[in-house]
Amino acid sequence: MHEYPIDPLQFFSFVISTILLITMPHTAMAIDEIIFHNGDRISGAVVRMDKSVLQLKTEYAGTLFIAWDSISGISSDSPMRILMKEGGARTVMSITAENRNSIQAINPEAWQTGDGHLFKGEAAMSLNIDRGNTRQEEADLDLAMEWRHLNHRIKLQSELEYDTAENEKTTDRWFILAKYDNIVSSLRYYGGKVSYKTDRIADLNLRLTAGPYLGIQFINRPTTKLSTEFGVDGVKESFDALPENTYLAGSWSLDFSHTIIDDALQFYHRQKGLANVNNLNGVVLDTWTGLKIPIRGGFSTSAELKAEYSGDALAGIDPWDLAYRLKFGYLW
């Protein structure tokens, strides 16, 4: 028979580990029961509900995203903070078929209840330097920021394009847009905007627009978003070769995005336009279409086609301007 000497240090460590394992409190996932209209039930931990989608964390299938319209009620073993559609927040232990339609959000963020603010943004850059047979430099910078508090939303968007070839400017374009939205419901909002644009290569020194609009949020799910806006703008344009032009225009915009592969691939399309009410041939259109690939830590890369159309372009200037860009961005 072989005898194995006991190491006092190993024995002491074993005893301490056993005591800690026995006495240490065990944390278990909160048990919330989701009741569907058809009577089915599933359990998990409610993370939050917003934009008519409930997030439920489960041990057997990860995080589930469930349409709020399919849910009849929720019973919970821990308090839930709910935000009511008519305003105000309260704490409840259950949600029933009688009060579910009056709930806007479960476990809302601080900016939704008025206790804080939301600030987020995205910056992207495209840079190309060619020192081969042709000396060419391209620099494109995009910046978008959003601030939220209760039903108030402010958006800022800016864009800079500056390209040279053989030390001669081929693109010199600025664009700045500021918007304020008052969100009436999950479907409708209204607001006002002001924008400034210059394109010196196309002989546009200034295009200043300002006016109100109405917005409709058709889809606002985590994976798919679709909104559009219609308004009336006052427009002021200044050119080098033409006299100053002031007119009234109908304006519109469209913003669409869809996640093709979760955390891997997203398609997006944005569009904004102006139509001179006195000259429908003078339509101005800007579109951005691309595929975005999230990386890590808020970083992303995207391949984008930007198309601009100016129906009132001067003679000898192509009304269409196309740019293919590979961008690198950061989201915060």
pLDDT in tens, 282-328: 798 999 999 999 998 899 999 999 898 887 766 666 788 888 888 99
Contact 302, 124 (CB under 8 A): yes
H helices of the chain, where?
8-23, 110-113
Nearest Cα neighbor of 193 from 181, 179, 207 is 179
Contacts of 296 (CB under 8 A, 6+ apart): none
More confident residue, 100 or 136: 100
Which stretch of 10-14, 39-43, 234-238 has the lowest confidence by average pLDDT? 10-14
What residue type is 323 in one-letter code?
A
Residue 1's pLDDT band (boundaries 50, 70, 90)? Answer: very low
Q: Which pLDDT value is given to residue 29? A: 54
CB 156 within 8 A of CB 165: no
Task: Please give the C-alpha separations between residue 171 and each of 156, 242, 321, in angstroms, as whole numbers.
Answer: 23, 20, 10
**Distance (Å, whole) CA 159 – CA 173:** 8
Distances, alpha carbon 298 to alpha carbons 122, 123, 263, in Å:
9, 11, 11
Separation of alpha carbons 255 and 59, rounded Å: 36
Beta bridge partners of 204: 199, 239
Positive or negative torsion for Cα 308, 311, 313, 317: positive
3-state SS, residue 113 = helix
215 by DSSP, 3-state: which?
strand
Q: Coil, strand or helix: which one is 9?
A: helix
The pTM of this model reads: 0.76
Residue 222 backbone dihedrals phi, psi, to 5 degrees:
-55, -30
Share of the chain above pLDDT 70, in %: 83
| Coil, helix or strand at residue 100 | helix
Check whether 274 has a pLDDT greater than 80: yes
Q: pLDDT digits over 109-161, tens only?
A: 899 888 899 999 999 988 665 555 556 667 788 999 999 999 999 999 999 88
pLDDT number for residue 25: 47
First-to-last alpha carbon distance for the chain, in angstroms, is 66
pLDDT at 315: 66
